[in-house]
Chains A and B, each alone.
Chain A
């Protein structure tokens, strides 16, 4: 166990502060709009803190560090592209401006105004399935990080119990205060998480030294380091090199990231909670560069872990490219600082979990349940349903993502599910907002083709030999192409006036 009493004290103070703030916000919840979109009272800096905290979880830190371990600094190129996408959308207001102006609570709600109830319901189902299954991997990966950093025993069920306890705390304040609690705890978590990230980055740079780190990365790449060999298979600095991402992948990433920042419901929920569309645009512009650090700083830790283990006889037994970073950090973080960094990582995990739980519960309530309810519900009943949904998703995640071991190909499945969501919903959003010729038939065709494409790729990759499998960028780009083709062809075949022309004018 790597934690001292001082580290424990820091963690307990952080958790107690978070819980107190989260539960305190319950007193301001008067209705579903307060619970789901914070009464639309969120201002720009609170939005920056919430957006940054939600979109930077331990799962992100683990994967971006793995990219740094496998691709060097060039692994952070996706962060640069995401920042560019955020800035472009914040500058132009592409999708987010009309979306916020429409005054909806979720993305599928907008589809009802444009394409009718059926499309709203089906799109809501896609959003929930993609989102909840995607979230299924968060708890286990977050737990892996905590296990390696703290040195907790792996043979017991410590990981499961720690993460169950953490999710229990998150559920408590999210169920009580909804988005209001999420915003205030996100703010605290943004501060603690930021502190942990800055301290760790400075420690990593001072541990190895910047010039030494760069020189040793070159040695890991060209394999001339004495006794090291080529431990890095991709060019550590040039993302365009044939051994690294390459042009096609990066071009595809730009389109993909524009779809993510305009469509992914947890990001969009901050747009919908903003005071107005100008606040939403400012929030995007000012958060943009944060996404460079989201990839570059954990990427730096991963690259440092590669250098450290490459020059220390290789990876220890039981450690792989995913867990090398926390194993390395455990060797350099001193007493007291390990408590702050761990509190920061718990903050990252909690803010992401709370934001995601609330978002998917809101979509289920707003887009799957509400359209089927004949009689209007009381405010109390609406709140009770939304709170029960948050709790239900939490319980589902515990068993699906933590206590139940997913099979190996679950990762492929999750990537494909994410594509189904993004390809179809992004197509519906862009066509619904910017193309007057789009209609319900086109929307159904886009939803079906956006799903059929990725599932076909999943099946092909399951049966095909490894060298004949379809690359993720080809699969992803084709899913978007199929969804857009479905929208254009479906709308052209069934050319007729929109389902509700009166509403169309107001979007």
Chain B
């Protein structure tokens, strides 16, 4: 377990799990707002 490559991959894999979990909520919330804004702009443009 003290092998530097094992430590590297442990950090990479566990960080990836946390990062994917974080993005679910962060991009989930912000992305929804951006879709709302985008549809508003497109709607006003077509009027």
Contacts and interface: CB of A to CB of B under 8 A. Distances in A.
Contact of A201 (B17, B35, B45): B17
Interface stretch (A43-51, A320-328, A456-464): A43-51
Given A194-B20, A198-B24, A293-B19, A28 B39 contact: yes
- The secondary structure that dominates the A interface is helix
A397 interface: no
A190 interface: yes
A42 B38 contact: yes
Q: Looking at B13, B15, B28, B42, which has the most chain A CB atoms within 10 Å of its CB?
A: B13
B34 to A, nearest CB: 4
- The secondary structure that dominates the B interface is helix
Interface in B1-47: 1, 3, 5-6, 8-10, 12-13, 15-17, 19-21, 23-24, 26-28, 30-32, 34-35, 37-39, 41-43, 45-46
A245 to B, nearest CB: 13
B34 A45 contact: yes
B1 A214 contact: yes
Contacts of B43: 28
Contacts of A187: 31-32, 35
B12 to A, nearest CB: 5
Contacts of A296: 9, 12-13, 16
A477 B28 CA distance: 39
Interface in A265-298: 289-290, 292-293, 296-297
Contacts of B12: 73, 76, 80, 292, 296
A41 B34 CA distance: 9
A282 to B, nearest CB: 12
B18 to A, nearest CB: 9
Nearest to A38: B38
B27 A197 contact: no
Interface of A: 25, 28, 30, 34, 38-39, 41-46, 48-49, 52, 73-74, 76, 80, 180, 183-184, 187, 190-191, 194-195, 197-198, 201-202, 205, 210-211, 214, 237-238, 289-290, 292-293, 296-297, 300
